[in-house]
Amino acid sequence: MADNCFAGVDVGSLSTDVVIINASGKCLAEVVIATGLNGGETAQKAFDQSLNQAGLAQEQIKAVTATGYGRASVAFATGKTTEISCHGVGAHHLFPNTGTVIDIGGQDSKVIQVDERGRMLDFTMNDKCAAGTGRFLEVMAHRLELGLNELSDPLNIKGETVQISSTCTVFAESEVISLLAKQTPREQIVNGLQRSIVNRIWSMVTSIGIHGEVTLTGGVANNQGLVLVLEEKLGKKLNVPENPQTVGALGAAHIALRGYHK
């Protein structure tokens, strides 16, 4: 049984993620559950599940850093910090040459520049509108009667496309309804939606610039079609973690570890 372990808890708008690491940074547990209505209760539930997964007692967790929009609700946290800092540290841990992080979450998206330790140097974010986020994709998948896995199919971006001009989720949904009424093939609409998201990300990227390798984090990084379109737009390969949804929690755990040793 391991001693001196550290946890990161990321309470997001759609999911709550917990990662536990040991003193050498090895991941011992990784849990993702839906946030629901009560972020504090969900955080405790996810934390308990992660302890069970790692075979640990709560007393063996020496520090817990909470992050995400619901971080204030994590009563058992020993520290709290922004998800921007956590995604930078988490991305750097997975890909040490990361200089730029693109995080596409459930309700917002961010472009973050980091230094050689993953510390944030500069950032820009879209938190005023859900367009181009996980919630946007959920709404569009429902309207198109597709699963998220079908929406992300790389085959959809290989053929013809239609332009989705609205930058608002509500108006974009209206455009999709109109296109369906005209019997526009669904794969063309999906292609257009993916490219509209990438165009929003591109505008953020150009405002802050890119340096070093680019790492994509957040649940939307599981969207293979979007990854391909974004790589095409950026003209470079992206680092995509095996579990992009938990990068924020991973970074929070490493921040807890660093803080404990300080």
At 29-49, the pLDDT tens digits run 999 999 988 999 999 999 999
Query: Containing domain of residue 39, as a range?
Result: 5-89+245-261
Provide the residue type at 173 as one letter.
E
Question: Do 249 and 67 touch, CB atoms closer than 8 A?
Answer: yes
Same domain, 132 and 20: no
Same domain membership, residue 143 and residue 110: yes
* Residue 165 sits in the same domain as residue 62: no
pLDDT at 7 over 60: yes
What CA–CA distance (Å, rounded) separates 118 from 90? Answer: 8
Query: Can you give the pLDDT at residue 127?
Result: 58
Average pLDDT, the chain: 90
Q: Are residues 200 and 125 in the same domain?
A: yes
Q: Which tens digits make up the pLDDT trace of 117-140? A: 899 999 998 755 666 677 788 888
Both 151 and 49 in one domain: the answer is: no
**CATH number, domain with residue 221:** 3.30.420.40
Q: Are residues 45 and 18 part of one domain?
A: yes
Domain-embedded: residue 94: no
Q: Which of 124, 95, 103 is nearest to 212 (CA)?
A: 95
Q: Based on the fold, state whether residues 122 and 103 are members of the same structural domain.
A: yes
150 and 224 in a single domain? The answer is yes
Residue 162 φ then ψ, to 5°: -125, 155
| Per-residue pLDDT band at 197 (split at 50, 70, 90) | confident
Query: Is 58 part of any domain?
Result: yes
Total domains in the chain come to: 2
Q: What is the mean pLDDT of residues 190-194?
A: 88
What gap in Å lies between CA 83 and CA 103, rounded to an integer? 10
Q: Are residues 142 and 206 in the same domain?
A: yes
Q: Is the pTM of this model over 0.85?
A: yes
Residues 103 and 208 in one domain: yes
Angle at CA of residue 104, ends 100 and 110, nearest 5°: 50
In this structure, the answer to whether residues 42 and 73 fall within a common structural domain is yes
Same structural domain for residues 236 and 249? no
Residue 66 lies in a domain: yes
Helix locations, the chain, DSSP H: 39-54, 83-94, 134-144, 148-151, 169-181, 186-208, 224-234, 247-261
Q: How far is CA 6 from CA 89, 108, 115, 186, in A?
A: 15, 27, 23, 46
Cα 211–Cα 122–Cα 86 angle in degrees, nearest 5: 95
